[in-house]
């Protein structure tokens, strides 16, 4: 019986390369997002400009007219008060007796009290009168403020600081912030200030009429308008807050769009720092009415825009879910298996299990290539590791096996004692110094020794050379005690001192000088071996020897040896360099890390 096999479903996406698959996925997801963004932005702009802004501009204009009427009402009341005979008689106090002046004071106080009474549930505007009385016609009247209303006469030295400003206005009423006003609780208040002139005596100033608490009246007018999370400010021409919907006054706000004030009066709107500003300005009165509304609060109320965005978002969500499910089966499952393989694999470790997928697209090629690469990488790691170990062992063995064995050291000790017993003190001393050289050079098999021991080794070498050749040069030792425990490869200073003797001061007799200096510079141990030799040093050759660029391997073996050992122990940022010495000669400079004394 023949069985018919179902035809295998062929995923069409596997015929596309990875770049085209990702480009297709990007277009499917991002095109609706861009459409939503463009539509939402366009819709928000239309709603904001066409509906909300126009409405608030009209509302601002009406609100400003209401405030103007309130201020005009106060202006009319002050005009009525200043024309009252009880006030005008104060222009000639010398014509009345003391008793009549008392009656005039009481009549004016009652007049101001009557106008300061609360009406229709609104908070009262308090009226006060201030007059300059240098001749003391009204000694019975208070000179300092006892309440927010009343009549006050003051003499020399008691004039309020705002009084001269009011007189300069010559009867024109204006609004002013009094920072501290009241008898006990000094509070800021908005006042309407107006000079009172004498009608009969050629507009001679009698005093100043002050209406305080105007901010409460203006605030009631502001609160007739409700803004979505917004604020309303009634300000002066220089943006000083005279009244606000929140009740705060006396501070300055930043009102943008001043360039739009094309005439002495008008209204404009501007968007600034995520807020919509609707501003009505009156340059003649130096006043502004400012609406400040957060754009977010405006947009949150646009249900039509919300509905449109919600509809597009829901449709996009379903479309993306369908496409992502399809792409997940085609792309993400194989990639997840590949990610699991990569996470389990550690270079040099065992390879995780891998199963062939049978795919011929980029995903299949990538998975098989990664597995093959991991196999080759393991082999390379193993070979490289073994090679580095062998190279290090060979280099260190070659560098440190230049020291005589223990047998020579023990033999020298025996010869030293023999010479001492036979009375050959000079020979014994030379053998003792040589013994020191061998003992420190062996260092019990240690590769790094403290700088203290290396300096002792160098001194022994210098003493030995002086006794052997009767040199007349001087050696100065100047090393910070803090550096004595710094680790240094053994037999590092001796070759440098030997070079300084042979190529620098050997023929200079007692004029030759070698300086061994150790300092801490920039967190490093810096050791200088400098001579005052008369020969001109070949710095180019020395630098080629230090860097390993010299073609002749027989030249500068000791210098290369020192450089290689320092870098093998401490890294390429440390090592040996050469520079000219001030005053002539050459200086060899060693840079080593600061570390505690090495163990073993």
pLDDT tens for residues 531-581? 988 888 888 888 888 888 876 777 777 888 888 889 999 988 999 999 988
* C-alpha to C-alpha distance for 26 and 384, rounded to whole angstroms: 43
Domain ranges of the chain: 26-82+226-333, 85-216, 475-593
Structure tokens at 325: 């499910």
User: For position 528, what pLDDT does the model report?
Assistant: 94
Residue 1 has pLDDT above 60, yes or no: no
Site of tokens 């100043």:
208
Contact of 130 with 148, CB cutoff 8 Å? no
What is the distance in angstroms between the CA of the first residue and the CA of the last residue of the chain?
83
User: For position 600, what pLDDT does the model report?
Assistant: 41
* C-alpha to C-alpha distance for 520 and 580, rounded to whole angstroms: 20
For the ranges 279-288, 351-360, 387-396, 583-592, which has the lowest average pLDDT?
A: 351-360
Nearest to 341 by CA among 315, 374, 309: 374
Residue 385 has pLDDT above 70, yes or no: yes
- Give the CA-trace dihedral at 397, 401, 407, 409, to 10 degrees: -130
Collapsed DSSP state (helix, strand, coil) of residue 546: helix
User: For position 429, what pLDDT does the model report?
Assistant: 65
User: For position 476, what pLDDT does the model report?
Assistant: 92
Average pLDDT of the residues in 248-272: 84
| Pairwise pLDDT comparison (305 vs 468), residue with the higher score | 468
Residue 3 has pLDDT above 70, yes or no: no
Sheet of 474-479, strands arranged across: 474-479, 513-521, 524-531, 586-593, 575-580
State what percent of residues in the chain have pLDDT above 70: 74
User: For position 404, what pLDDT does the model report?
Assistant: 46
* C-alpha to C-alpha distance for 231 and 222, rounded to whole angstroms: 10
Residue 454 has pLDDT above 90, yes or no: no
Give the count of beta carbons closer than 10 Å to the beta carbon of residue 433: 20
* C-alpha to C-alpha distance for 104 and 78, rounded to whole angstroms: 18
Task: Name the band, by pLDDT with cuts 50, 70 and 90, for residue 365.
Answer: confident
Contacts of 301 (CB under 8 A, 6+ apart): 228
- Tell whether the torsion through CA atoms of 373, 378, 382 and 384 is positive or negative: positive
Task: Name the band, by pLDDT with cuts 50, 70 and 90, for residue 179.
Answer: confident
Question: 352 vs 332, 377, 462, CA distance in Å?
Answer: 20, 14, 63
Question: 128 vs 167, 191, 251, CA distance in Å?
Answer: 16, 10, 25
Burial class (CB in 10 A: 0-12, 13-18, 19+), 103: middle
Task: Name the band, by pLDDT with cuts 50, 70 and 90, for residue 225.
Answer: confident
Is this structure's pTM higher than 0.85? no
* C-alpha to C-alpha distance for 403 and 439, rounded to whole angstroms: 10
Nearest to 208 by CA among 264, 277, 161: 161
Residue 396 has pLDDT above 70, yes or no: no
Q: Which phi and psi (to 5°) does residue 237 adopt? A: -65, -25
Task: Name the band, by pLDDT with cuts 50, 70 and 90, for residue 527.
Answer: very high
User: For position 516, what pLDDT does the model report?
Assistant: 94
Residue 284 has pLDDT above 90, yes or no: no
Most confident of 39-43, 115-119, 576-580: 576-580
Fold of 475-593: Heat Shock Protein 90 (3.30.565)
DSSP assignment of 413-475 equals HHHHHHHHHTT-HHHHHHHHHHHHHHHHHHGGG-SEEEHHHHHHHHHHHHHHHHHHH----EE
Give the count of beta carbons closer than 10 Å to the beta carbon of residue 543: 14
| Pairwise pLDDT comparison (439 vs 572), residue with the higher score | 572
Sheet of 174-181, strands arranged across: 150-154, 126-132, 205-212, 187-197, 174-181
Q: Give me the count of residues in the chain.
A: 600
- Give the long-range contacts of residues 75-84, CB within 8 A, separation 24 or more: 75/173, 75/192, 75/194, 77/115, 77/127, 77/211, 78/127, 78/173, 78/192, 78/194, 78/209, 78/211, 81/111, 81/112, 81/115, 81/127, 81/209, 82/194, 82/196, 82/197, 82/209, 83/199, 84/108, 84/111
State the angle between helix axes of 54-82 and 98-115 in degrees (0 to 180), rounded to the nearest 10: 160
Average pLDDT of the residues in 430-459: 74
Structure tokens at 43: 């819709």
Give the count of beta carbons closer than 10 Å to the beta carbon of residue 593: 15
Contacts of 29 (CB under 8 A, 6+ apart): 320, 323
Burial class (CB in 10 A: 0-12, 13-18, 19+), 229: exposed
Average pLDDT of the residues in 520-529: 92
Give the count of beta carbons closer than 10 Å to the beta carbon of residue 318: 9
Collapsed DSSP state (helix, strand, coil) of residue 587: strand
Sheet of 241-244, strands arranged across: 241-244, 231-236, 287-294, 275-282, 265-272
Contacts of 22 (CB under 8 A, 6+ apart): none
Parallel/antiparallel/unpaired status of strands 205-212 and 231-236: unpaired
Q: Which phi and psi (to 5°) does residue 302 adopt? A: -90, 85
Q: What is the DSSP letter of 125?
A: P
User: For position 51, what pLDDT does the model report?
Assistant: 76
Question: 494 vs 132, 313, 548, CA distance in Å?
Answer: 102, 81, 21
Task: Name the band, by pLDDT with cuts 50, 70 and 90, for residue 403.
Answer: very low
Contact of 230 with 291, CB cutoff 8 Å? yes
- Write down the CATH number for the domain with range 85-216: 3.30.450
Structure tokens at 359: 């795919």
Quote the mean pLDDT of the chain. 79
Please give the helix or strand (H or E) that residue 592 lies within, else none.
strand 586-593
Residue 596 has pLDDT above 80, yes or no: no
For the ranges 30-39, 226-235, 437-446, which has the lowest average pLDDT?
A: 437-446
């Amino acid at each position: 019986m023949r069985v018919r096999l179902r035809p295998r479903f062929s995923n069409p996406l596997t015929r596309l390369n990875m770049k085209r698959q990702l480009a297709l996925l990007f277009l499917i997801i991002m095109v609706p997002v861009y459409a939503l963004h463009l539509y939402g932005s366009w819709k928000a702009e239309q709603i904001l400009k066409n509906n909300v802004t126009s409405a608030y501009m009209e509302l601002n204009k009406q609100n400003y007219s209401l405030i103007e009427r309130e201020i005009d009402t106060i202006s009319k009341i002050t005009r009525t008060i200043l024309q009252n005979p009880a006030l005008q008689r104060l222009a000639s106090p010398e014509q009345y007796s003391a008793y009549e002046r008392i009656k005039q004071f009481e009549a004016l106080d009652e007049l101001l009290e009557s106008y300061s009474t609360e009406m229709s549930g609104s908070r009262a505007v308090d009226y006060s009168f201030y007059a300059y009385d240098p001749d003391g016609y009204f000694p019975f009247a208070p000179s300092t403020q006892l309440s927010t209303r009343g009549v006050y006469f003051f003499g020399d030295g008691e004039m309020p600081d705002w009084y001269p400003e009011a007189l300069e206005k010559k009867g024109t009423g204006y609004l002013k912030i009094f920072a501290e006003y009241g008898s006990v609780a000094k509070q800021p208040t908005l006042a309407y200030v107006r000079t009172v002139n004498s009608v009969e005596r050629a507009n001679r100033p009698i005093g100043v009429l002050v209406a305080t608490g105007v901010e409460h009246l203006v605030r009631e007018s502001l609160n007739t308008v409700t803004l979505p999370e917004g604020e309303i400010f009634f300000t002066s021409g220089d943006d000083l807050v005279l009244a606000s919907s929140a009740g705060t006054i006396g501070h300055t706000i930043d009102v943008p769009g001043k360039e739009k004030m094309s005439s002495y009066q008008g209204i404009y709107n501007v968007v600034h720092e995520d807020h919509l500003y609707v501003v009505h300005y009156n340059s003649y009165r130096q006043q502004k009415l400012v609406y400040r509304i957060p754009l977010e609060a405006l947009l949150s109320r646009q249900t039509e825009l919300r509905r449109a965005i919600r509809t597009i978002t829901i449709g996009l969500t379903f479309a993306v879910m369908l496409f992502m499910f399809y792409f997940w089966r085609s792309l993400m499952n194989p990639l997840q298996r590949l990610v699991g393989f990569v996470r389990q694999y550690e270079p040099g470790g065992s390879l995780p299990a891998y199963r062939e997928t049978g795919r011929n697209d980029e995903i299949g090629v990538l998975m098989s290539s990664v597995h093959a690469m991991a196999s080759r990488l393991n082999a390379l790691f193993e070979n490289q590791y073994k090679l580095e170990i062998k190279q290090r062992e060979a280099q260190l063995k070659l560098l440190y096996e230049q020291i005589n064995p223990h047998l020579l050291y023990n033999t020298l000790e025996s010869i030293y004692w023999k010479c001492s017993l036979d009375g050959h003190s000079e020979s014994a001393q030379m053998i003792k110094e040589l013994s020191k050289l061998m003992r420190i050079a062996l260092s019990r098999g240690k590769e790094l020794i403290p700088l203290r021991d290396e300096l002792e080794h160098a001194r022994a070498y210098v003493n030995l050379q002086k006794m052997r050749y009767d040199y007349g040069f001087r050696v100065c030792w100047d090393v910070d005690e803090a550096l004595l425990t710094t680790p240094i490869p053994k037999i590092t200073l001796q070759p440098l001192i030997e070079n300084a003797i042979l190529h620098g001061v050997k023929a200079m007799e007692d004029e030759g000088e070698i300086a061994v200096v150790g300092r801490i510079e920039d967190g490093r141990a810096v050791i200088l071996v400098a001579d005052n030799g008369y020969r001109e040093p070949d710095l180019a050759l020395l630098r080629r020897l230090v860097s390993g660029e010299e073609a002749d391997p027989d030249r500068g073996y000791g210098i290369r040896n020192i450089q290689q050992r320092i870098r093998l122990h401490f890294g390429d940022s440390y090592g040996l360099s050469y520079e000219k010495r001030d005053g002539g000669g050459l200086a060899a400079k060693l840079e080593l890390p600061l570390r505690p004394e090495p163990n073993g």
